[in-house]
Amino acid sequence: MINYQPYAKLAEIYDRVMNHVNYDEWAQYISSIFNRFGIKVKNILEIACGTGSLALLLQRHGYNITGMDLSPDMLKVAESKFKQNGLPLHFFAADMTSIPMKKEFDAVLCMYDSINYLKDPAEFKKAVEEISKVTKYGSLFIFDVCTLKNSQIFFSHNSISEDLSGIKYERKCCFNETKRIQENFFIIEQNGERFIETHFQKIYMLEEIIDMISYSSFDIIGIFDDMSFSSGSEDSERVHFILQKKI
């Protein structure tokens, strides 16, 4: 079995694996956040943009999207989508703890629990510091996290498998509740070869996140339950954080 970096082999089948995600709903929810807080947004940086499914929809909503991801393989898929739709390409590969850009944006997004890939508080704080540098004063940084409850329900020794048009895929999950580390093992079988990717996500308590943000140049202006404007809590399965850069 050949080991690969996260999202290297998975990129090819990622959209089929994630076909249960309603990206239209995500795009509409993000737009509703801008409206709720009265923020005029034109230029958006999407961190961990993956294969560009959300970016494509936001572009169609009239926003100018720049996409960033750690995985060049995921970005290749994103670029292909934008080319097929005749849209301008603004994608680059980078780590969210080291963003090589001086441009400032009206909003920065890091969606679908991508922030949970930051493995410890030091990385989390560094990423927030870097994101602040590319966020205009008074503008928003929006991210969401998987909660402890989510991991306990969905990722404690679960496994799923599918046959995706000739590519077999299996995901095995386990959750170390003591360290609050979620491990996902993606096993992909293609043309008689087997590949494995191992993904680690850190599950932060909401109070930990609130404390880390308190040392940043952002104010927290919203903590919401999954796809809503109800208050988010440890009883939520996903929580959205809305941050505004201090003026």
Mind listing the pLDDT tens digit for each residue in 191-230?
A: 889 999 999 999 999 999 999 999 999 999 999 999 999 9
pLDDT for 166: 83
Query: Hey, what are 211's tokens?
Result: 């404390």
29 has pLDDT over 90: yes
**Mean residue pLDDT across the chain:** 96
What pLDDT is recorded for position 156? 83
Q: With CA atoms as reference, report the closest residue to 74 among 100, 47, 98.
A: 47
Lowest-confidence segment of 56-65, 140-149, 161-170, 238-247 by average pLDDT: 161-170
Does 1.10.10.10 match the CATH number of domain 7-146+203-245?
no
Q: Which residue has the higher pLDDT, 192 or 136?
A: 136
What's the pLDDT tens digit per position in 95-124? 999 999 989 999 999 999 999 999 999 999
Mean pLDDT confidence for 142-157: 94
pLDDT (0 to 100) of residue 35: 98
**14 vs 191 pLDDT, higher one:** 14
Residue 87 has pLDDT above 90, yes or no: yes
- pLDDT at site 165: 78
In the chain, CATH 2.20.25 covers 150-201
**What pLDDT is stored for residue 1 in this prediction?**
74
Q: Is the pLDDT of residue 245 over 80?
A: yes
Q: Which part of the chain is CATH 3.40.50.150?
A: 7-146+203-245
Task: Give Cα separations from 223 to 92, 102, 122 (angstroms).
Answer: 29, 28, 22
CATH code for 150-201?
Answer: 2.20.25
Give the pLDDT band (50/70/90) at residue 42. Answer: very high
Among residues 12, 26, 29, 119, the alpha carbon closest in space to that of 71 is found at 12
- Decide: 223 and 206 in contact? Cβ < 8 Å: yes
Q: State the pLDDT confidence band at 157, using cuts at 50, 70 and 90.
A: confident
**What is the pLDDT at residue 191?**
87
* pLDDT over 70 percentage in the chain: 100
Q: Does 74 have pLDDT greater than 80?
A: yes
DSSP E strands: which ranges in the chain?
A: 2-4, 43-47, 64-69, 91-93, 105-110, 135-146, 159-164, 167-176, 181-190, 193-202, 218-225, 238-245
